[in-house]
Amino acid sequence: MKKSYPELIRRLHEIHDLRSAAALLEWDEQVCMPPKGNGARAKQTALLATLAHERQADPGLGECLDGCSRDPKLSASQKALVREARRDYDKAVKIPGDLVHEISETSVKAHAVWVEARKKSSFRLFAPLLSRLVSLKKEEAEALGYPEGGVPYDALLDQFEPGATVRELDPVFKRTRDITIAAIRSIAESRRKPDVRILRRRYSPERQEKLGRLILDYMHYDLTAGRLDRSVHPFTTGIDVQDVRITTRYEERWLPGGLFGTIHEAGHALYEQALPLAHSGTPLAEALSMGFHESQSRLWENQIGRSFAFWKFLFPRLRRLFTDTMAGVGLDDFYLAINAVRPSLIRVEADEVTYNLHIIVRYELEQALFARAIPVKDLPALWNSKMKEYLGVVPRNDAEGVLQDIHWSSAGFGYFPTYLLGNLYAAQWMATLRRDFPDLDRRLARGDLQTVKKWLNDKIHRHGRRYPASELCRRVSGETLNPEYFGKYLRAKYGPLYGVSWS
């Protein structure tokens, strides 16, 4: 039996190709599939997921990995590839194939129902399928197992943020919550009040798309290896290193949605496009974790995209695209408006200060669901209660509340915490980037985004999954994840912007 490294690569490429095909079907489902195609698509997606899982859990792959692990001639990169492939194999063999099939098929059905439920603002319509998904993911968590003294939710966290546990994340989230609340209270006392009506003027979606494509060009997103389309919820699909697609959505009366949604998704896409092509189809050409992935999108969206230096460059171009709409609006007023801090209902439209509280709401609800502390039917009321407690706002309906995110319809339990981790990592990366380039603001002000892209390519993207998250974080910044960088970032930016200070 073949146990060579080339045989391992052949097997991994086959698994990758099946998952790429599934990713393409998912992209089509959310971008251009006709509504009546949902039933057939559920079967197609489930079949591909089942076939990929069968190959991922194939004993022959395990034997191949055993043989590679004993090969003294492997390079450091090859050893890292074998290590990560072993991690994926060990997880796959624990999950029954019929469970993988049912989760995949139910998720496709749930997505279609979620879209309809969101339109009708009816959680009751979505609840039965959500309950089923929660039950299925509980089965999966038990099958995967979790650390001694841990909880089932740890198994789901590990799928998006390898090694993460509730025990480790809770203190990080608590410290982030304290940092956020201190910032919000100080900013609320400021006499400076942004005029966000600027952002609610009429901005044609067609010109918004032109603006988005202009920014993608400055960011060096390769459109010969990607696409920009529209969907209900913005997302990025990495079908392959050379086929990374993004979507966004435009609202005529709310410029930031399409603008920053495009930048956010492009941040994800730049990561995927810069993964090592030589290792395509293997774990070394995959993102390290979703926390690292979200750090890319949040860095581009907020640290760069909402910076004064970036808008010194882009603002004249914005005015040329929206001459009448932007009449009488100056750069300072626009900059303050896009950095307005105020509690809001919708996560994807939240400012970067209050955003983390949205994630904490979801993190706590997911934990409670998988600890069997709350039933699915109580989610709308609990959601509204937590929104009032943390953000001081209460959704008027389910569409503004519990139904606003796509993640639960795709069984993405454990994903939300990575958004908060992404914000923390992004602040840490930016502090390091500024140390490496003291003139960074001058570069941004002349439209030089290539400096940022190349730095991220070299420090993070090119490594794929070669290093564990904590090790790569140290390699990039000199220390492990530290939420105090986020606190320093907020004070340095929002203190002067609002004329306030806090410790």
Q: Please say whether the beta carbons of 176 and 424 come within 8 A.
A: yes
Alpha-carbon separation of residue 121 from 125, 232, 241, 252 (angstroms): 9, 15, 37, 21
Q: Which of 265, 294, 301, 366 is catalytic?
A: 265
State the average pLDDT for the chain.
96
- pLDDT attached to residue 214: 97
Alpha-carbon separation of residue 119 from 3, 36, 230, 317 (angstroms): 53, 17, 17, 35
CB contact set of 373 (below 8 Å; sequence gap of 6+):
none
Picking from 341, 333, 359, 249, the residue whose alpha carbon sits closest to that of residue 302 is 341
Q: Please say whether the beta carbons of 150 and 167 come within 8 A.
A: yes
Intervals of CATH 1.10.1370.30 along the chain:
166-277+292-346+417-498
Q: Catalytic site residue 265?
A: yes
DSSP conformational letter for 284: G
pLDDT in tens, 26-70: 999 999 999 899 899 999 999 999 999 999 999 999 999 999 999
CB contact set of 176 (below 8 Å; sequence gap of 6+):
356, 360, 420, 423, 424, 483, 486
Tell whether the torsion through CA atoms of 216, 220, 223 and 226 is positive or negative: negative
pLDDT in tens, 258-292: 999 999 999 999 999 999 999 999 999 999 999 99
By residue count, the chain amounts to 503
Query: How would you class 478 by CB atoms within 10 Å of its CB: exposed for 0-12, middle for 13-18, buried for 19 or more?
Result: exposed
d(CA 497, CA 128): 46
- pLDDT attached to residue 164: 95
Q: Please say whether the beta carbons of 228 and 261 come within 8 A.
A: no
Token readout for 468 is: 């564990």
Level-2 CATH architecture, domain 166-277+292-346+417-498: Orthogonal Bundle (1.10)
Picking from 55, 52, 60, the residue whose alpha carbon sits closest to that of residue 18 is 52
The CATH classification of domain 5-144, taken from the options 1.10.357, 3.40.50, 1.20.58, 1.10.20: 1.20.58
Query: What is the pTM (predicted TM-score) of this model?
Result: 0.94
Token readout for 107 is: 């998720």
Q: How far apart are the first and last CA of the chain?
A: 64
DSSP conformational letter for 303: I
Q: Which residues of the chain have pLDDT under 70?
A: 1-3
Intervals of CATH 1.20.58 along the chain:
5-144
CB contact set of 364 (below 8 Å; sequence gap of 6+):
386
Q: Please say whether the beta carbons of 401 and 387 come within 8 A.
A: yes
Residue 408: Cβ within 10 Å count? 28
d(CA 80, CA 263): 32
Most distant CA atoms of the chain, gap in Å = 74
DSSP conformational letter for 302: I
